[in-house]
Every structure is written in C-alpha cells, then in structure tokens.
A and B are shown apart, each in its own frame.
Chain A
Amino acid sequence: MTDNVSERIQSEIDSNDVVLFMKGTPVFPQCGFSAAVVQVLSELGTKFKGIDVLSDPDIRDGIKSFSNWPTIPQLYVKGEFVGGCDIVREMYQTGELQDLMSTKGVKVDA
C-alpha cells in the first residue's frame, strides 16, 4: 500500500463519523455481506458514508492492510475500526452497536 492510499483512507475516516468500506453503494450493494451492514445501519437510522471499493482497486487492497482485516465490508466509527459483517451484526443484536454509537456521540434514531 502506498502512503497516498493510506492517507486517502485516513482522511475519509477522519472527515466522516461513520464510514463503511463496501462492495457497491448503499443503494445498490454488490455483495450480501455489504448489504447486511447497510441494513443494520439503516435500521439504526445512522447516517454513514459508503465507499465503494469495487470502483477503486487501490482502496480495495489498501483497506485490508490498513485495518489488518482480510475482508470487505469494514465499518469505521469516529476513526475506530469496529469490524466486518459478523461483528457488526452480532453487536447490533446485543445492543452494543447502539451503545457504541451513543458513547461516541453518533446520532441514531433507533
């Protein structure tokens, strides 16, 4: 990963409270795992920025080493890596995700 890619990723997670690196877009996810996280965030009523890694091969490779995480999707909240699809779903079911959002001062409707 070049410094440039790393800087672009850092700048995205610095300038947006909730960032989802995903395959496809929030409106048209291209993968079931990405779609599942979009669904959770929608149910929470959280605003987030979706970054489509399919349209950006540098980010697609870069985000894996950036987070030391082998798969997409990846969710960041206030600059912190929260996890992929399994963790996000599990945290949503147990209510931990809602707690995390409010601890970090991110607005949710649910």
Chain B
Amino acid sequence: MAMSATEIERMIKEAIPDARVQISDLRGDGDHYAALVTTPAFKGKSRVQQHQMVYDALRGRMGNELHALALQTAVPEDA
C-alpha cells in the first residue's frame, strides 16, 4: 500500500515540529518519493542519526508501505 506525500509530510512534522519538508513524487505512482527535511533539530547529529529521526517519525512505515523514500537531511544555515 502506498502513502500520500501529504501523509508523509504530516508524520514528519508531527514528530519534528519545526521541520521544513519538501517532498517530490518521483514517478507519480505514490510509491517513490524524495524528501528533503531541514530542521535545527538535526544540529550536532550525524547523518545516520538525522535519517533515523525521520524514520522514527514515520513509525515503521518506511520499508513497508513506503517502499522508496530517497532522503536528504540538512540543518538550516542560520541554525
């Protein structure tokens, strides 16, 4: 089962409230997304930890309903 981009964005923002989330549907099939998540909450964390925070926010959907989410994380420059 696929997930909508809105649903992905909602779940990430619920767990990381000040996150800026940009999602693109790579194939238009509701199953292959790319997401860029930017938040000061990532500051001082390794890339692995940043991605883990996003995966935690998606509470088990990643790797199941959500087959492919190309993830990029960043700390805002002014943080």
B-contacting residues of A (Cβ < 8 Å)?
Answer: 33, 64, 68-71, 81-87, 90-91
Query: Can you list 8 contacts pairing A with B, beta carbon distance less than 8 Å?
Result: A64-B63, A69-B48, A69-B51, A69-B52, A71-B62, A86-B71, A87-B47, A90-B47
Contact with A along B28-43 (1 / 0, CB 8 A): 0000000000000000
Of A70, A81, A83, A86, which is within 8 A of B60 by CB? Answer: A70
Q: How far is the CB of A64 from chain B (nearest CB, A)?
A: 7
**How many inter-chain residue pairs (CB < 8 Å) link A and B?**
31
Pairwise interchain contact B48-A82, C-beta atoms closer than 8 A: yes
B72 within 8 A of A: yes
- Interface range on chain B: under 10, 10 to 19, 20 to 34, or 35 or more? 10 to 19
Pairwise interchain contact A90-B72, C-beta atoms closer than 8 A: yes
B70 within 8 A of A: yes
A59 CA / B39 CA spacing, docked (Å)? 33
Q: Which of B47, B52, B72 has the most CB of A within 10 A?
A: B47
A33 CA / B69 CA spacing, docked (Å)? 11
Contacts of A87 in B (CB 8 A): 47-48, 51
